[in-house]
């Protein structure tokens, strides 16, 4: 039997249980197939909130378009790193500094340190 997969064209829910009813493999395929301008942040947040393997949750977090939705997961070692890397605006400097002060995870603090340095350098060039 040949497994033919096709990229996801939008978002949408799969059955009543939504994306969480999919196997990890199918869920990863759905996440990776999302177009850049998708409207599936709600479904991706559901995956991040789930008890799925951290890799599946990380991949979902990487595709969330609105970084504000990730702030609720700043305390999560795996998702906090992704959140820090998505902070790219001058308004995000305070939040990155807060992550540095408050995160108990070295990985999150390291990601916040790097992103803060990059952000400050980029803003310095624009001024």
C-beta contacts of 90-96 below 8 A and 24+ residues apart: 90/119, 90/123, 92/67, 92/119, 93/119, 93/120, 95/71
pLDDT digits (tens, 9 = 90+) for 83-114: 998 888 888 999 999 999 999 999 999 999 99
d(CA 26, CA 94): 38
Mean pLDDT of all residues in 32-59: 95
Instruction: Record the pTM.
Output: 0.75
Residue 15 has pLDDT above 50, yes or no: no
């Amino acid at each position: 039997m040949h497994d033919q997969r096709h990229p996801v064209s939008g978002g949408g829910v799969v059955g009543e249980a939504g994306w969480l009813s999919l196997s990890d493999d199918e869920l990863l395929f759905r996440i990776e197939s999302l177009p850049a301008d998708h409207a599936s942040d709600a479904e991706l947040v559901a995956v991040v909130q789930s008890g799925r393997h951290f890799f599946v949750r990380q991949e979902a977090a990487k595709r969330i378009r609105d970084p504000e939705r990730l702030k609720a997961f700043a305390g999560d070692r795996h998702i906090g790193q992704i959140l820090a890397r998505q902070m790219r605006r001058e308004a995000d400097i305070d939040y990155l500094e807060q992550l540095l002060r408050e995160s108990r995870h070295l990985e999150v603090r390291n990601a916040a340190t790097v992103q803060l340095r990059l952000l400050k350098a980029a803003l310095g060039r624009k001024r």
